[in-house]
Structure 1
């Protein structure tokens, strides 16, 4: 596990390192994560590792099973279709309506830059980079609303969105199509018509997620291995 350990805020650095392993699909849904293994790899005591794992449980990236072991969380079809997608549609459209007519040349340059990064990630089949840029594209819509409460709500579901992107994209292996859909969405933003932009955003979220939900498990398996 590639983590640069410093003495200060050790548990947070360990937590960030475990996050990277999850978001790079080096730790997969259901994989067991143990204090002893991580402490041994990092050559640290188990105390800060335990604290780091507790942080990630609270963030929804790890799940404690029967109070005995900890595993990487799964993301299920039900959660995506009944929670994440409706929440994203409502939050992103709300942000778009608040922000759209405040966007200037710099905003569109940033969107263009992100789409270009997607193209590079697609060219090199860099899934972790693509997922991160995908998040940044949609986060730009949220943040541009300048509504702190909305940003906090987004941050509350961000790790679950990341898990969804990691598991869905790694299974679908269709980065070019995702890139094309983001470029198409950006073109609707550039029309200057709010109704067109809103409909384009809603269609985009549905089109890039709903057809692929069958790739996810129907329910999260939290049973312990013997």
Structure 2
């Protein structure tokens, strides 16, 4: 585990390092995360490591069972189909309806830049970078609505979306297709028609996720692991 500790609060630095390992796919769903191992690896005491782990449990990235062990969280087909996809559709299309009339050339330039970055990440097969750019693309829709409550709701599910992207994209190995689908969505946005843009966004979220949910573990299998 390669984590650099800087001068700011130790527990947050450790937590960010563990997050990085998860989002880069170096820690798989179900992998154990132990205080002793991390403390020895980083040459720190167990206290800040324990606090960092507690932070990540609260964020939904780790699952801790009292008196047993802590493991990296999984994301299941049930959570994706019943919670994440419906929530994303409602939140992102709502944000689009609120923001679309105010979008100008600057907004579209930002979307274009993100799609160009996706293309570069695809060329180098940089999955972690691609996932972050993908999130930035969709977060731009949320932020452009200028609705703080919506932004807070998005922040609340962001790490679960990250987990979904990490596991889905790593297993599907089809970054070029994801890039093409974002370019199609952006062209839909550029039509200037709100109804077309909203429908395009809804279709995009469904088409880039639903066909691949079988790659994720189902709920029954997750219970069996426990």
CA distance in 2, matches of 1:17, 1:114: 25
| Residue 4 (structure 1) shift | 2.0
Runs in 1 of length 4+ with deviation above 4 angstroms? Answer: 222-225
| 2:84 matched residue in structure 1 | 84
| 2:222 matched residue in structure 1 | 221
Question: Closer, same or farther in 2 for the Cα pair 1:48/1:223, shift >3 Å?
Answer: farther
Q: Any gaps of 5 or more consecutive residues in structure 2?
A: none
TM-score (norm 1): 0.97
Which residues in structure 2 correspond to 1:58-73 (within 5 Å)? 58-73=58-73
Does 2:28 align with 1:4?
A: no
Which residues in structure 2 correspond to 1:50-199 (within 5 Å)? 50-199=50-199
CA distance in 1, matches of 2:73, 2:14: 17
For the 8 Å contact 1:75–1:160, the answer to whether it is kept is yes
The superposition leaves residues 133-154 of structure 1 with CA deviations (integer Å, 9 ceiling, x where unpaired) of: 0000000000000000000000
TM-score (norm 2): 0.97
Query: Alignment partner of 2:222: what SS?
Result: coil
CA distance in 1, matches of 2:7, 2:104: 43
CA distance in 2, matches of 1:6, 1:223: 40
Query: Alignment partner of 1:33: what SS?
Result: coil
Between 85-94 and 101-110, the greater mean CA deviation after superposition = 101-110
CA distance in 2, matches of 1:2, 1:102: 43
CA distance in 2, matches of 1:136, 1:209: 17
CA RMSD between the two structures: 1.3
Q: Any gaps of 5 or more consecutive residues in structure 1?
A: none
| Residue 5 (structure 1) shift | 1.1
CA distance in 2, matches of 1:59, 1:189: 32
Query: Alignment partner of 2:71: what SS?
Result: strand
CA distance in 1, matches of 2:189, 2:210: 22
